[in-house]
Structure 1
């Protein structure tokens, strides 16, 4: 065999060695000399041959020149990962790959027109020294079917939708000929259908026209649409609800325990339309009371897998925006059939306790009942009876109050966490415009209802969690409301944070943490740092969720807890009612896998609903401040980021931001380790809790943002 015949084999071997090296180190940059040496040809002839191989690989797209005379494996030759794109307001993308803790950063130029929520294929092109991965998207596997809400910028020829969400940095194009009725300024719900290569904007499909921007109904519907929450019931759901019979039958009375003769009343907010819980009180003998916690029997009317049940399961929860409730159930059920309205006989699922003055539960009973509400109290009316000792059913109210305060004290003695944060409310005019801000105060009447609902939830959970067989506890499938103990890493950050206020947090695990938090919150009450400390304390805690795996409820200090008391507004409570009924009838343990899937969905819907509620509060806060441009207000620092200072106003607790770029006289940067904003030249420092005076600079209702500018930094008050 001649040398001429051996040449191709040698070249092929060298090419294979080069490709293997590039594959082994896909994020490295190699020079021609390095590649020639690594493939056994660091001679003039070898380098020339390596150059020929590289040229061929460049033409084939297997290799790319990433810098002058530096080469690496091209994207098409790298391992492809599949993940979900998460877009930023600047147009960059982070791709979350299942099973991979760290997200992959994608620069806008390498995003291949990917949008938030798209399923994409990505290759990693570079890994920094700290392990940060940077890549490029090579294909869109599946476009997200999510809806976007935005404002139409329209003329006679075209429609562009300026999206409200900061997760999409481009406008969406709608063909004018398909949507002749869209007007400039309309608030639209759209879905992206395509993004043609070379086009600056994706092409969308109109899902709904919510009406002119700025109108209250339009904006509230826009928030619901943004979070993919329904703002109306489909006709078939309303029709199905309308056909549900409401009259109690002889069979209903026969199968239920009759509580109609027992004094029963409801205590709810003044503006409540549905009443899903009532309390009954009966003195059995001196120092012994029968207390009934009566809950609307929604599952008596809503049968499994019915049209109404499927809709309730999908919604998961009612949603409470600033000016309205978006109910889980149609009005026929939540405001009529199931609502425990005064002077009406209603079907209930009840937890009945025989208690003495020492708070001992002598007997308990769970089952279906018929009740008659004798009176409807607002919280304010119930509070008046508690404070004055006079009014309707004063003896019963004072008995409940006395028992509730005893249970409350015992709960905190056992290590429950006492977060008592004020809830902001808006006074609205007839058009929904905010004209004032006030705060919902939790008084003894609220605590009365809370303690008996907690008691019912806890005891139902304990009953359903196990059955007794041959003297042993056998677990049963149950829907639990759980809350894990605080994460040690978060606690360490919290411990370091409060040191700046001269506060020491010694506890590190167990119930001691809860007791130390309660002690700390009591100590900072009324101080300038109260809000900052309580905010960080909340952030150090875990989030509660639904599951069939009971780990207890840390915040309430209950080893076993569920949600039983609000089936009109929470689907998990309906699940619990069905499980309780099953076990009372002697049924076997339910399908745990099926209930766990329902728990996961309910937890997800709860999070989405909470985000929508916060968005509506933010919108109304910005709307309330929109006529106050240029006015000055005292406040304090409530948060710090690398781009600015969050300030909460003292009187209203409305929060806005001072951008660092707008702070003159120095160059300010965020020191994450010390959690401070520092001035390089002056050494001026800003930290959580610092009092400030700000001026309202700008409001943006579309983005729900409020911009402040610094007027003065006041001395801390002690």
Structure 2
């Protein structure tokens, strides 16, 4: 061939490849020119250009008569050059830049060989870098060698690590060990005057940051758990960067307005949505156009001589605060796969579409190895409006006095065959993601809401777990079978509860549900007696006027009924039974779910807080001991106190995770929260890929040979299943984060709408917010964190957000200029032993606004667990690096 290039004896692979590209470019140039000469028509011949940032390669290209340009030079000649240049990797743009003369701000990383050697020797440690949500200068790394996290204090010790990076750390001498943060330190406040253009002579730690750290780090001689110092460490290397695309907005104060006329390139700061990530410098020619937009960027480099990482613009998502931009922003931020299903996936769907039906002829292959359970009085119980119905139940008396109970799960594996395009897509998505206003499906809608969904009054394929149980809910036997069912009804939790409670209803279906409820209560009590935990998490329900409404009509706390527990107990029982069965058949490859026992050190702070503030104890020696002691955490004057403690205890736990059975010893299979020795997910295959794998493994375990059978599925290689577990763990966590972020956005929109309506009614320019009950969850020396049950959110309340003696009404309190003046007048006293904060106003100080404060002005003292009256509002930042960004603001009005 004309373009074939053989590698020379002394030629490197890279040089040979460069020469091959030049040869191909030269051939195309000559070939096109020859075509033009032979053609009778005038042809517009394209220029063949070699793109290279290698100067030697460019020199050789020129010598051989080939056009060679750097990427930036090539883009500069295009019509849309300004926008395109913004999207070039910063390391490419820096290729022709002058070498920097600034001194190195950060320590050089250790070599990989040095790190590996010392990790094996135990002198260095490896772990994931985390950042405190309340103090951007405080990081931590969990390592097996220490019971408590290693603290990473300050920029110099974090050494360019970003939240999520896998880092290597070196423990500092004991005299440098410190206690965790007692101060809220916000990057937005401390670095607001940083100049994105300036890199020379900048310090890795500014004087403001140094002072904040010195003020914040308490002496290591305090008493009590919180006063004891923790080991501190510094980052000496990065094993794996967790860099990704980040959603953010341009810091308005970092942009030069003078550039509006000439569209010159300037360096600006982008503020990521994720507060754990530092500001990112980008160079752009369209700063003014991007102001007030949600934008997507990526990090390219973080050099030792730069205080901040450098990145580049990818694209704009739309205006900040608009529904479309904010929704896409949170989907991108949490790595949710939200693009439409490709044609290759849709081609895997049944050709009959919505007309598909269970074959009526029982000799059809679809009936092979299936039981006909259409005669059973099966029903489903789900949240209101549920369309992807995964599960249904039944019960009926047996002649021997026992009861048959069945859990019937949508047989998704009949439609999603191993390793086809739909299976590959589902494994990548991992889970369905539920947002307030939309659902991002794991499977195409045809399956999720129709063919697989166990809708009432139609026949559906199912995978059934059938138990024989005694009237005391003792399990006599468990059987598993593929089946065909005919659901009689699809109830909401409320509808099922009303039906059960209606004494005039005596039909067989209602009687069946009453039996299920009775058995579920017995099963629940057995779990609790075994040590299962009744934990709590904030759950709210967003109500809208219509599916497309914006803003939100209302926010309500979810009500839990007995029927919620009814469904939960039998789903848990099904998951436990299936886990035992697939582990029996596939002891190395069963896909299971575990919840590791949390180390007692995780609870030390909460134990100390309960002891000091309420004279209560928390026994964490076992899950049963913890469950019993949580039951005793009661405040007669405050019914919510117990729920608050359960929420705080939940945050002391480790996260549950999917795993491959062969990856852990059987003693480590235990699900701590459920007090079960073995567990998996089987009951939601429409929305979780883990359940689909469990279905395939169970089918193989019982010898099912009908359509969709894959006898080798449970015997797939451990490495493949471990990769699946890693991905679905990641997807599951991110789906939870995305769901919470969606609720927070809509809570903000609800507050905004309500505030605007109230302001209009009062004829005011300032939205007053709404008054609610809150509970103090954390106390710092310059503010507190308050949990508001009504909205399921936490708010940071700084010194200026305490409303003292009526001198700071909601209108003035929400005004940013007034807030700064109020903050300047405030003083506080923090008692770290008693978890209390006293806030008062300086006497006679005018705070710069000419208004002298009154002597003897009222002070306020708040303590951990206090119930407080708060004002909650949605405010939009007008100036500074947060300009255009809306946030929920919480004011403490008084102690309740």
> TM-score, length-normalised on structure 2?
0.62
Q: 1:286 to 1:121 in 2, by over 3 A?
A: closer
- In the alignment, is residue 490 of structure 1 matched against residue 602 of structure 2? yes
Cα offset, 1:384, TM superposition: 0.7
Could you list the per-position Cα deviations for residues 149-206 of structure 1 after superposition, in whole angstroms to 9, with x for gaps in the alignment? 12467967269655333244435546458x99x7653433232446798898834142
2:454 corresponds, among 337, 340, 353, to 340
- In the alignment, is residue 713 of structure 1 matched against residue 822 of structure 2? no
Q: Distance in 2 between matches of 1:65 and 1:607?
A: 38
Q: 1:110 to 1:565 in 2, by over 3 A?
A: closer
Q: Distance in 2 between matches of 1:580 and 1:668?
A: 62
Is residue 619–residue 704 contact of structure 1 (8 Å, CA) maintained in 2? no
Cα offset, 1:614, TM superposition: 1.8
- In the alignment, is residue 290 of structure 1 matched against residue 450 of structure 2? no
Q: 1:203 to 1:360 in 2, by over 3 A?
A: closer
Is residue 637–residue 647 contact of structure 1 (8 Å, CA) maintained in 2? yes
Cα offset, 1:458, TM superposition: 1.4
SS in 1 for 2:686: coil
Cα offset, 1:223, TM superposition: 0.7
Is residue 595–residue 657 contact of structure 2 (8 Å, CA) maintained in 1? yes
- In the alignment, is residue 689 of structure 1 matched against residue 865 of structure 2? yes
Q: Distance in 2 between matches of 1:491 and 1:116?
A: 23
Is residue 769–residue 874 contact of structure 2 (8 Å, CA) maintained in 1? no
Is residue 243–residue 299 contact of structure 2 (8 Å, CA) maintained in 1? yes
Q: 1:323 to 1:128 in 2, by over 3 A?
A: farther
Structure 1 equivalent of residue 784 of structure 2:
645
- In the alignment, is residue 191 of structure 1 matched against residue 191 of structure 2? no
Structure 1 equivalent of residue 310 of structure 2:
202
Q: Distance in 2 between matches of 1:142 and 1:456?
A: 39
1:517 corresponds, among 617, 629, 639, to 629
SS in 1 for 2:176: coil
Is residue 465–residue 481 contact of structure 2 (8 Å, CA) maintained in 1? yes
- 5 Å-filtered alignment, 1:655-670, equals 655-660=794-799, 667-668=827-828, 670=830
Q: Distance in 1 between matches of 2:107 and 2:291?
A: 43
Gaps of 5+ in 1: 1-63, 67-73, 468-473
Q: Distance in 2 between matches of 1:117 and 1:578?
A: 33
> TM-score, length-normalised on structure 1?
0.76
Stretch moving more, 679-688 or 264-273: 679-688
Q: Distance in 2 between matches of 1:623 and 1:242?
A: 39
Cα offset, 1:510, TM superposition: 3.0
Is residue 532–residue 672 contact of structure 2 (8 Å, CA) maintained in 1? yes
Q: Distance in 2 between matches of 1:335 and 1:316?
A: 18
1:545 corresponds, among 648, 654, 657, to 657
- 5 Å-filtered alignment, 1:458-473, equals 458-466=576-584
Structure 2 equivalent of residue 47 of structure 1:
none
Could you list the per-position Cα deviations for residues 215-269 of structure 1 after superposition, in whole angstroms to 9, with x for gaps in the alignment? 2232122111111112223424543444566554511123311111222111111
User: What is the number of residues matched between the two proteins?
Assistant: 633
Is residue 528–residue 691 contact of structure 1 (8 Å, CA) maintained in 2? no
Q: Distance in 2 between matches of 1:269 and 1:387?
A: 18
Cα offset, 1:568, TM superposition: 1.0
Q: Distance in 2 between matches of 1:279 and 1:552?
A: 27
Could you list the per-position Cα deviations for residues 633-676 of structure 1 after superposition, in whole angstroms to 9, with x for gaps in the alignment? 24333322534212234654543221136557763355445433
Gaps of 5+ in 2: 1-102, 117-125, 178-230, 705-710, 756-766, 803-822, 843-857, 878-883
Q: 1:120 to 1:93 in 2, by over 3 A?
A: farther
- 5 Å-filtered alignment, 1:602-617, equals 602-617=728-743
Structure 2 equivalent of residue 419 of structure 1:
535
Structure 2 equivalent of residue 46 of structure 1:
none
Is residue 162–residue 172 contact of structure 1 (8 Å, CA) maintained in 2? no
- In the alignment, is residue 132 of structure 1 matched against residue 240 of structure 2? no
Q: What RMSD in Å do the two structures reach over aligned CA positions?
A: 4.2
Cα offset, 1:528, TM superposition: 5.6
2:564 corresponds, among 427, 436, 446, to 446
Q: 1:487 to 1:671 in 2, by over 3 A?
A: farther
Cα offset, 1:388, TM superposition: 0.7
Cα offset, 1:422, TM superposition: 5.9
Structure showing greater relative contact order (alpha-carbon pairs closer than 8 Å, 6 or more residues apart): 2
Q: 1:464 to 1:129 in 2, by over 3 A?
A: same
Q: Distance in 2 between matches of 1:253 and 1:115?
A: 54
